[in-house]
Structure 1
Amino acid sequence: MACTAPDYEQVLASALERYRAGLDPELIELPERAVFPYLIPAQPATARKSRVTGMLLGIPAPCYVKRGRSVRYRLADVLNWMSNSESITSTAAGRS
């Protein structure tokens, strides 16, 4: 019986469904591949680099959790990172 790779979009959809049902986002952990690029618009390689540099897309990277060799992101940390990211309307506005 062959082992199949998880469908990370489905993993994310399931996690968001549990969040909408009232589960504390601190308790929902997502694999790196479900967060990048599905929630945060960056490739997993960029996420790995951010864990070394501490920066992701020009701002401090979201916190992560190690479970053995696996890297997981708590939904609460990802949502906080996204809500604290500054929105800009143009590249000219981003340079200020």
Structure 2
Amino acid sequence: MKYTTMEQLLLTELVGAQVINHGGIKVCLRRSENIPSMGGATFDHVALFVLDGTVVEWIDHLNPWDIKSITSLKGSETNLYGSRGAYGTVLIETK
């Protein structure tokens, strides 16, 4: 299935993650009472994006059709990224 937005792709590929797009896509991989289940607010604790091995702030410019894989890392898997990956890491690989 092809997606028209990165938001749709992330919501489908990262099962259980919360995704918002208010001035930029943000992903939360952890459940928290501080994160509203409905839209209209921003996350305090967001996952780090790593695009083709490089840490990036924004992924809004990406075309979902150009994505080869998306993987979420949690817990000790994120140690490679230090404190920046403390709330999880989303690895994105393009074609």
TM-score, with structure 2 as normaliser: 0.23
Give 1 or 2: higher helix fraction: 1
Q: Which has the higher contact order (CA 8 A, sep 6+)?
A: 2
TM-score, with structure 1 as normaliser: 0.23
Work out which of the two has the higher radius of gyration on C-alpha atoms and give 1 or 2.
1
